[in-house]
């Protein structure tokens, strides 16, 4: 066991194996031990009374006095799940002077909004946001909690899930409930599922997310702990439609002390958007790939985006090469976008790029290689040299705009 441990986690002292602080429970020693003397056991979770948890919650995000688009998408998805489970859709908004936004959340169909206002919550900081949210979850016990997989959500969700001792599926692309087929399928052999009634299985959140670089879709359940927490990539779900508000706002008073918050915000520096249009809100996106050849040639992308009033996207190859900031990256490790029109120029169409843009309504691909995979998903394909096509297209559109 000493030899097989990659971490130096086992020491033999006087013929007895001792585990050091370097042991990370990987279990390599278990298989190697010819005496079956080593057992790694997960500490059992505390039994949770599932019946005490009900309701679907959406944790709202906002910036510059507006709800983030991902939150509006989660409200649409949350409504659908809440209706299927015949339960309430509730939302939580944290911030300073955000009562107007709480009101707006009601217009997207929430039955109730917990409104937590405090100057300390003005800008997102992990500590106070997690403290407030954990308190609310313990008090109100929602069955499902949805967050956006934005920088904020990706920071907050795991912190909260760990504190509340529940699971989290990050970066989901699909959510369902009411799937009692799970017992009939292979999942029925899972001992945790087998212990649930048919009704409890029907209330499980079936969370789907890409795994192994997008080559596999994983289905993930959280059968034994509550709440069932998922973060969802913005741009994947359909936005909620506005309706006549009928829900309530529940103000929540919190006692926070700035002196106990470790992180201080000294300055907020806004990311300048080249074209003035935010990538995730854009109706039109013009994306440049490695086919541009060098960073200066992003000028062609910028000009076309400008004439169309669109935003600038980029493949990871161009971001990694330092041609354009990471903010513009579209794809599995970048942003997920869903514009009306996506123009991919000199982008090959790797599966990781497609993961972030294939839900676009109309896709135009410009590539000199007729076999480039981007053409498999393009609505219109232009086989040719982008250095000829882009200036001509921009010029023609400019003429049309001015005539
Ligand atoms: P290339 O694949 O090099 O394609 C360039 C294309 O330009 C070619 O098809 C070529 O025919 C064309 N071309 C060249 N010259 C011209 C010309 N003059 N006119 C017209 N066409 C021309 N990639 C992403 O984009 N986003 C992600 O989020 C992302 N995440 C990843 C995550 C992981 C875990 C991994 C492993 C990879 C990820 N990638 C991602 C990288 C991805 O696999 C590809 O490497 C990348 O998308 C390729 O970028 P590209 O299409 O610009 O470059």
Among 152-166, 251-265, 273-287, the range scoring the smallest mean pLDDT is 273-287
> How far apart (Å, rounded) are the C-alpha atoms in residues 363 and 21?
53
Q: Which atom of ligand 1 is nearest to the CA of 318?
A: 52
Give the containing element (helix H, strand E) for 115: strand 112-117
**Cβ-contact 100, 109 below 8 angstroms:** no
Ligand 1 nearest-atom number relative to CA 349:
51
The residues near 391 (Cβ < 8 Å, ≥ 6 apart) are: 300, 303
- How far, in Å, from the CA of 315 to the mean position of ligand 1? 6
pLDDT at 274 over 60: no
Distance CA 82, CA 144 (A): 9
Phi, psi of 62 (to 5 degrees): -145, 155
CA 357 – ligand 1 centroid, Å: 13
pLDDT digits (tens, 9 = 90+) for 345-377: 999 999 999 999 998 999 999 999 999 999 999
Using an 8 Å Cβ cutoff, are 110 and 76 in contact?
Answer: no
Which mutation among 317, 357, 363, 370 tests ligand 1's pocket best, with the greatest number of atoms within 8 A of CB? Answer: 317
- CB 143, CB 85: distance < 8 Å: yes
**pLDDT band with cut points at 50, 70 and 90 for residue 185:** low
State how far the Cα of 54 lies from the Cα of 87, in Å rounded to an integer: 7
Residue-wise DSSP of 236-287:
SSPPPPP-----EEEE------GGG-S-------PPPPTTSS-GGG-SEEEE
Alpha carbon distance 7, 46 (integer Å)? 30
Ligand 1: residues with CB < 6 A are: 213, 289-291, 315-318, 329-334, 346-348, 350, 352-353, 356, 366-369, 372, 385-387
- pLDDT per residue over 299-312, tens digit each? 999 999 999 999 99
- Nearest-CA residue for ligand 1 atom 52 is 289
Percentage of residues in the chain having pLDDT higher than 90:
69
Give distance in angstroms: CA of 65 to centre of ligand 1: 36
Among 43-47, 101-105, 120-124, 380-384, name the one with the lowest average pLDDT: 43-47
User: How far apart are the C-alpha atoms of 145 and 142, rounded to whole Å?
Assistant: 7
279, 285, 289, best to mutate for ligand 1 pocket (most atoms within 8 Å of CB) = 289
- In tens, the pLDDT along 72-85 reads 999 999 999 999 99
Rounded CA separation 244/274 (Å): 37
In this structure, what DSSP letter does residue 329 have? B
Q: Please give the distance of CA 276 from its chain centroid, rounded to a whole number.
A: 24
Helices of type H across 8-56? 28-32
pLDDT average, residue stretch 14-39: 87
Q: How far is the CA of 317 from the centre of ligand 1 (A)?
A: 6
Atom from ligand 1 closest to the CA of residue 386:
19
Q: Under DSSP, is residue 288 helix (H, G, I), strand (E, B) or coil?
A: strand
Q: Which of 301, 303, 277, 278 is nearest to 289 (CA)?
A: 301
- Ligand 1: nearest atom to the Cα of 288: 52
Ligand 1: which atom is nearest the Cα of residue 347?
A: 51
CA of 290 to the centre of ligand 1 (A): 6
- Ligand 1 centroid to Cα of residue 308, in Å, is 23
Is the Cβ–Cβ distance between 314 and 342 less than 8 Å?
no
Q: What is the pLDDT of residue 212?
A: 76
Mean pLDDT of the chain: 91
Contact, 302 vs 274, CB < 8 A? yes
Whether 89 contacts 75, CB under 8 Å: yes
What is the average pLDDT across 324-334?
Answer: 92
Confidence of residue 214 (pLDDT cuts 50, 70, 90): low
The closest of 107, 356, 353, 344 to 249, measured between CA atoms, is 107
Compute the distance from residue 326 Cα to the ligand 1 centre, in Å. Answer: 14
Q: How far is the CA of 288 from the centre of ligand 1 (A)?
A: 9
Looking from the CA of residue 372, the nearest atom of ligand 1 is 9
Say how many Å lie between the CA of residue 350 and the centre of ligand 1.
Answer: 6
Q: Is the pLDDT of residue 194 over 90?
A: no
């Amino acid at each position: 066991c000493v030899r097989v441990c990659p971490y130096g986690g086992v020491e033999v002292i006087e013929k007895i194996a001792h585990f050091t602080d370097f042991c990370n429970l990987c279990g390599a020693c278990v298989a190697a031990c010819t005496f079956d003397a080593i057992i790694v056991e997960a500490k059992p979770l505390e039994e949770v009374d599932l019946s005490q948890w009900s309701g679907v919650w959406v944790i709202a995000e906002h910036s510059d006095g507006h709800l983030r688009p991902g939150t509006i998408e989660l409200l649409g998805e949350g409504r659908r799940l809440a209706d299927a489970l015949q339960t309430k859709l509730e939302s939580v908004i944290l911030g300073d002077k955000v009562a107007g936004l709480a009101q707006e959340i009601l217009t997207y169909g929430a039955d109730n909004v917990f409104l937590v206002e405090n100057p300390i919550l003005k800008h997102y900081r992990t500590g106070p946001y997690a403290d407030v949210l954990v308190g609310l979850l313990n008090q109100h016990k929602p069955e499902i909690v949805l967050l956006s997989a934005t920088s904020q959500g990706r920071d907050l969700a795991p912190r909260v899930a760990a504190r509340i001792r529940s699971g989290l599926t990050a970066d989901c692309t699909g959510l369902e409930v009411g799937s009692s087929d799970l017992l009939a399928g292979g999942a029925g052999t899972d001992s945790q599922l087998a212990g649930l009634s048919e009704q409890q299985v029907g209330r499980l959140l079936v969370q789907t997310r890409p795994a192994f670089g997008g080559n596999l879709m994983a289905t993930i359940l959280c059968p034994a702990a509550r709440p069932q927490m998922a973060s969802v990539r913005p741009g994947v779900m359909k936005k909620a439609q506005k309706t006549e508000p009928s829900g309530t706002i529940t103000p929540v008073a919190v006692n926070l002390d700035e002196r106990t918050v470790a992180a201080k915000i000294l300055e907020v520096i806004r990311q300048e958007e080249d074209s003035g249009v935010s990538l995730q809100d854009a109706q039109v996106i013009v994306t440049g790939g490695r086919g541009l050849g060098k960073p200066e040639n992003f000028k062609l992308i910028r000009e076309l985006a400008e004439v169309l009033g669109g935003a600038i996207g980029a493949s990871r190859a161009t971001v990694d090469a330092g041609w354009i900031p990471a903010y513009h990256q579209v794809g599995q490790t970048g942003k997920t976008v869903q514009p009306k029109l996506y123009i991919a120029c000199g982008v090959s169409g790797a599966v990781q790029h497609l993961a972030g843009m294939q839900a676009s309504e109309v896709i135009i691909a410009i590539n000199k290689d007729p076999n480039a995979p981007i053409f498999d998903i393009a609505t219109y394909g232009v086989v040719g040299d982008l250095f000829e096509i882009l200036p001509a297209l921009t010029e023609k559109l400019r003429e049309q705009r001015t005539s």
